[in-house]
Structure 1
Amino acid sequence: MAINKISNSQEYISHHLMNLQLDMHNFKLINPDSINFSKNFWVLNIDSIFFSLLLGILFSMVFYIAAKKITTGVPGKLQSGIELIIIFINKNINDIYHGKSKLIAPLSLTIFVWCFLMNLMDLIPTDILPYISKYWIGLPALRIVPSADINITTALAIGVFALILFYSIKIKGAYGFTKELTLYPFNNPIFIPINLILESVSIISKPVSLSLRLFGNMYSSELIFILINGLLPWWLQWSFNVPWAIFHILIILLQSFIFMVLTIVYLSMASEKH
């Protein structure tokens, strides 16, 4: 009985950590129980893509509706909430970013709200949507937290990285950017190879740290919920799930805030002329 319980728990945990994947060779859904990584290399995690796009559309619609109904009189609850978010983000931009750009404010708002919504999906009970997708729709697997997928966080970080390079070249010029890579921190032609290595590592580490920080925190948080449900009896799960969910609200907000602030910091550094 103990061996069966451990086996069932392992199967439950491993299944909940599997994405709904589409094999790009034959455009068929992959069964997570029979996946062969040597044959199934080019795949899409379509559940992560679906939920991230869905949350992005939801975010856009809510803000569009609020913008259409904006009033200079007594604001409603929706307008008040959005105004508080915008004031909060604008304060951080004014404190950190010292250049002039029409992109930084909407970019920071999008990153903060979108990351928050993706992280918020982790508070939905672990088994509800996977159960519906399996027994009502017939899907082999489903994960609903896009930010717990390294592919999604890497895509966000690569987008920020592209903007860092764009602003570095736009503000400093191609010559100034090249000079910064080759003559810093040691301002001598002899040290150009060393400077290039050091600065390349510094630049590449920015998107890597952005993606891994968000992914690591959300993946571990999701895993804790899965472990609680997979290892504990149903009548004891709530006593661990509720305290962790309350604490997890802080993690959700903090990780969204950190991703936004680091984006502003990196773009501010890219926009400075040395």
Structure 2
Amino acid sequence: MLEIKNSTQQYITHHLHHLQFDLRYWHWVGSEVNASSFWILNVDSLFFSILLCTSFLMICSYIVQFATYGTPGKMQTFIELIILFIDQHVKDMFHGSKNKLISPLSMTIFIWIVLMNSMDLIPIDFFPYIADRVFGFSSLRIVPSADINITCSMALNIFVLMLFYNIKTSGITGLCAELMYHPFNSVLCIPINFVLEVISLLSKPISLSLRLFGNMYSGELIFVLITALLPWWCQWVLSVPWAIFHILIIFLQAFIFMVLTIIYLSITQIHFKS
């Protein structure tokens, strides 16, 4: 265990701090507080999210090199099942014109979020201990999806795609007309329509990001509390059942994010055709 575990409060606070770097002054941020600024990077979240993405791409590239048509191996079969699973959901839910981006985007979102969420199953002190002893980092969080910055950045990308396809489908004038004349098709209701539609539009990326962040942050916090409040020899009584249940949350949150992405992009494709 980390030496900081001598104090339960310090231990819990320690595990809720990110490894941060301030680009303004080019130095690491102290572990006593989580700084918040545009110029401060949560290095641990960026590192593990990029590492997981790169590892998955390398594994898939390796499997593709040895892929066979007639008798696929176990790993090839597993990946093909995931692709078919996601592609079927895209066909069922995406009702706009044929779009080559939606299936790869949905695949990327689902796998990436699953991998980031799965980091929560690693013992809470394992990587922080290595980072402290080997690299001298006083803080480290290894679950990127428990960082609001990561989930917001993913949701923001989806929001930009929504606006892009809205404009592509109906043009700037069509988007403005949508904001001003929906749901009440009257000139007198333009101010009310505009407020309602802007709120509805902005609620989509906000709900995407906060839902994923809230579930993963709370899951990580429960693991921290179990480790901090119980002796090491009886932690498994609560941590194992919670980890088993948490596996469902890991896949469910990735699936929900993927499904909502497909639905939101589908709406932008067909809304002005209805």
TM-score by length of 1: 0.94
CA distance in 2, matches of 1:196, 1:64: 47
Distance 1:134 1:121, change over 3 A: same
Residue of structure 1 in register with 2:14 after alignment: 15
Question: Residue deviations 1:198-243, cap 9 Å, x none?
Answer: 0000000000000000000000000000000001111110111110
Aligned-pair distance for 1:66?
2.4
CA distance in 1, matches of 2:126, 2:190: 57
Distance 1:75 1:13, change over 3 A: same
Question: CA RMSD for the aligned pairs?
Answer: 1.7
Q: Is residue 2:73 matched to residue 1:72? A: no
* Contact in 1 for aligned 2:152/2:205 (Cα 8 Å): yes
Structure 1: which amino acid aligns with 2:80? E
CA distance in 2, matches of 1:164, 1:227: 39
Residue of structure 1 in register with 2:47 after alignment: 50
Residue of structure 1 in register with 2:216 after alignment: 218
- What secondary structure sits across from 1:22 in the alignment? strand
Residue of structure 2 in register with 1:125 after alignment: 123
Aligned-pair distance for 1:176?
1.5
Identity of aligned residues (%): 56
CA distance in 1, matches of 2:244, 2:9: 26
Aligned-pair distance for 1:84?
0.6
* Contact in 1 for aligned 2:5/2:11 (Cα 8 Å): no
CA distance in 2, matches of 1:174, 1:190: 22
Question: Residue deviations 1:121-149, cap 9 Å, x none?
Answer: 00000001000101121012100000000
Aligned-pair distance for 1:177?
1.5
Alignment equivalent of 2:87, drawn from 68, 85, 90: 90
* Contact in 1 for aligned 2:22/2:40 (Cα 8 Å): yes
Query: Structure 1 runs of 4+ off > 3 angstroms?
Result: 35-38
Structure 2: which amino acid aligns with 1:31? G
CA distance in 2, matches of 1:21, 1:185: 45
Residue of structure 1 in register with 2:238 after alignment: 240
Distance 1:82 1:173, change over 3 A: same
Question: Residue deviations 1:92-140, cap 9 Å, x none?
Answer: 1011001210100000000000000000000000001000101121012
Task: Structure 1: state its 5+ residue gaps.
Answer: none
CA distance in 1, matches of 2:5, 2:116: 31
Q: Is residue 2:251 matched to residue 1:269? A: no
Residue of structure 1 in register with 2:158 after alignment: 160
Question: How do 1:122-271 residues align onto structure 2 when only pairs under 5 Å count?
Answer: 122-271=120-269
Aligned-pair distance for 1:26?
1.3
CA distance in 2, matches of 1:256, 1:131: 28
**How many residue pairs get matched?**
268
